[in-house]
Structure 1
């Protein structure tokens, strides 16, 4: 696709449409929009202009203008993505949703929150809690990622094992389509089968089918009792082998996470706080919640016994908020902690059936040994989502790209042989678009492309992401 290049006159036209204060073309000021949290410079590209609309009507004006001119539009939330999904690889307009940051309504009678996309997920969680309610979505980047980005990538996070990914909590969306039309699907009805399930087509579409401008989120009553267990094991395989046993014990934990030894040590250094059994081969971190103290105690006792019966070194149960926060800080610091070891790395997001996690981790370990590199792992054991991270360390640019080009295809081959997929929650973005094209059948890709081509015939919405076009 041949795209129109933005001119000084175009910047004036955009300023006339949505206000000069909402249009930025100064290179110094737009540099931060050239990347997301992927640390590799391969996935950096300067936008030609950044727009910051204040409402859906302004988003509509920008997209109508871009569709007429054939200019790429890349919607951007908090910029915390790990797939180069919000990077303007074809130039054009980065449409930042940072000014659309209002909570429109908290409906305590129907358990809904209606809000704009530019609010951090942490703020959504806190607002729900202030009303005695609970938003279950909990990515590790909750304090910096935007709820709109969570919806656009169908983010998972620590509580997905019990409460599902973001899609389970989205009951309505207002979207600006690639032609600039504003459409709304769903709302506060918990059941609605009139027409196709368009909402869940847009959830996880990574900005390739339109821009999300309003969201109806389903909330839940706040769990009254919560307990977190930290369980160290001498070896990773011992820890991972206990996961299916927990999941088949008649309990659905709210969270069931794991960290390998390198991740534990890195988090301890990063947080500058001693962690219990930090020389362990692995941690299992498990959280249970419920409406009664008796239920929660019963569940964590069952899980604790399963762990001790299967070679756990110890079972620590958090007995106060401070100890619980300390446990979760260690897990959520994973990405930042690894940057202290290697400022540049390649974090993956593979997912396999839970029973195949041991085989996946063993294969990754063998790949790391074969290529003489380090690939620490942590992730969401309860739903099979593994964040294995290839570290660059002191390799030069050429050697680093050679390493990735060898290691990643082997990891993906293992994952698909085990019945898995190359991304569980971070999205395809640009980073995995070639790999997805390789592992999907032509028929599967054809269905996806027919949807894209119908809704966005000019391919202006986030080109180069999700689907590979020649």
Structure 2
């Protein structure tokens, strides 16, 4: 923080002149919710010096210009549902919340696009699209509370990524405010664009370090008339994951393919106080398929049933989607109820490497005597491994966790995996990225950050640290 100036009372006064006294927060009690995201470990909490709630891109532009002139950091914040502390002001400065920028500007039915401000929740985007007969395919588990701007900033994944891709694949344009306070739009409603470098894709997933997102152009697709869910329960994870490529190579393109290990199922069952199928010894594969031809979908469900049974499934059920998806989406919340402090690892590996990776994680959990629950997206190799602090002392936790993470990620990179599939790097994984990423890749990232934010005022210390 010594490289930056503190937020002065004079600066707070100037911020109030831009957006109004009502939308400048400096009271510690009111700022406290902005001092952390969903990460509960107190070492990832830092109080802002001031919080501002601008109403539009023009106000954000003025705020950024003022911050740059005073050498003060600006940390953009969405719904605060992140899991990497990306929106926490560890270098001090101004936390800029987009919560007032919550309008759905319009839906273009002919071009199948939605234009939205960044503070709209993902759930509201999905609902608005559905009401017009469309689907917005971005579907993170935090959709009811996460903001679309945050989804774009982190390139959020979610349950439908196996068919539709991550948030990157749902976005055709963004308006941003740059580190110099300029307002610019990358992309838009054109479906193709080979006009120079893809600055749009550079901004998506940059976690507020290259620009502040002020508007999004989202792709829509026609809403399928029918959705069917199948739950296949297997005796072990290797057998469970093994069915995934068989189903997809059979000409069936699932919308979702999720997995839960047995410990996760038990934890969710206890949290929800609801009996779940085969919770004693089962491993879940949850498959959703969609389409307009109901008869064809029923035939595909029969095919999935036959293939899963032949592959060793103990039970195959036409899933009660409300109950099963409730359990899958409660995965993180259930672990938090058991252990307030836990570390959610968001690794991604080739799909066929999921079983050996999860087995290795379980082996390391036993080695360090730490509970680790695994669930995630079987169709795209994204494993969420929740490492639970449980009854460990702070000293034991802080000693064991880095060692355990290093062993996990060494194994992940040995099979061609990566640090993050959808949550991003944020603050928590900066050192891990420096340790495991290709040095040339790191050099290029630093060069981009330096070029686009030479004063390093946009969310400093996140993703890549240029000092």
Quickly name the TM-score band, shorter chain normalised.
over 0.9
Tell me the CA shift for residue 326 of structure 1.
Answer: 1.2
Partner of 1:344: 341
Aligned equivalent of 1:367, options 341, 364, 369: 364
For 1:415, the equivalent position in structure 2 comes to 412
Q: Distance in 2 between matches of 1:114 and 1:411?
A: 40
Give yes or no for contact 2:78–2:149 (8 Å, CA) kept in 1: yes
Q: TM-score if structure 1 supplies the norm length?
A: 0.98
- Report deviation, 1:214: 0.3
Query: Of 462, 465, 468, which residue of structure 1 is paired with 2:462?
Result: 465
CA distance in 2, matches of 1:132, 1:101: 22
Partner of 2:120: 119
Query: For each residue in 1:262-311, what CA deviation from the matched residue of structure 2 results, as whole angstroms up to 9, or x when unmatched?
Result: 11111112222221222133111110111211221222222221211111
CA distance in 2, matches of 1:305, 1:76: 47
Q: Is 2:216 the partner of 1:219?
A: no
Q: SS of 1:437's equivalent?
A: helix
Q: CA deviation at 1:402?
A: 0.9
Q: Report the CA distance between 1:441 and its aligned residue.
A: 2.4
Write out the 4+ residue segments of structure 1 that deviate beyond 3 Å after TM superposition. none
SS in 2 for 1:348: strand
Q: Is 1:434 the counterpart of 2:447 in the alignment?
A: no
Within a 5 Å distance, the mapping from 1:444-455 to structure 2 comes to 444-455=441-452
- Counterparts of 1:94 and 1:233 in 2: how far apart (Å)? 47
Contact 1:263–1:376 (8 Å) recurs in 2: yes
**Cα offset for 1:135?**
0.5
Q: Is the contact between residue 450 and residue 466 of structure 2 (CA under 8 Å) also seen in structure 1?
A: no
Distance across 2 between alignment mates of 1:365 and 1:415: 13
Alignment of 1:70-469 (within 5 A): 70-318=71-319, 323-469=320-466
TM superposition shift of 1:442: 2.1
CA–CA separation in structure 2 for the residues paired with 1:265 and 1:247: 28
How many angstroms apart in 1 are the aligned matches of 2:198 and 2:301? 38
Deviation at 1:313, TM superposition (A): 1.1
Q: Provide structure 2 residue ranges, at least 5 long, that are not aligned to the other structure.
A: none
Q: Distance in 2 between matches of 1:410 and 1:342?
A: 22
| Aligned-partner Cα distance in 2 for 1:233–1:442 | 41
Cα offset, 1:239, TM superposition:
1.2
Q: Write the distance in 1 (CA, Å) between the matches of 2:92 and 2:298.
A: 55
Aligned residue number for residue 35 of structure 2: 34
Give the Cα–Cα distance (whole angstroms) in 1 for the partners of residues 122 and 93 of structure 2.
Answer: 28
* SS of residue matched to 1:91: coil
3-state SS in 2 of match to 1:377: strand
Structure 1 residue runs without a partner (length 5+): none
Query: How far apart, CA to CA, are the structure 2 residues paired with 1:2 and 1:443?
Result: 27
Q: Could you tell me how far apart the structure 2 residues matched to 1:43 and 1:214 are? A: 29
The residue aligned with 2:23 is 22
Deviation at 1:343, TM superposition (A): 1.0
Question: After the TM superposition, which of the residue ranges 264-273 and 163-172 deviates more from structure 2?
Answer: 264-273
Aligned Cα RMSD in Å?
1.0
Q: Is the 8 A contact 1:232 1:280 kept in 2?
A: no
CA–CA distance in structure 1, aligned partners of residues 441 and 191 of structure 2: 30
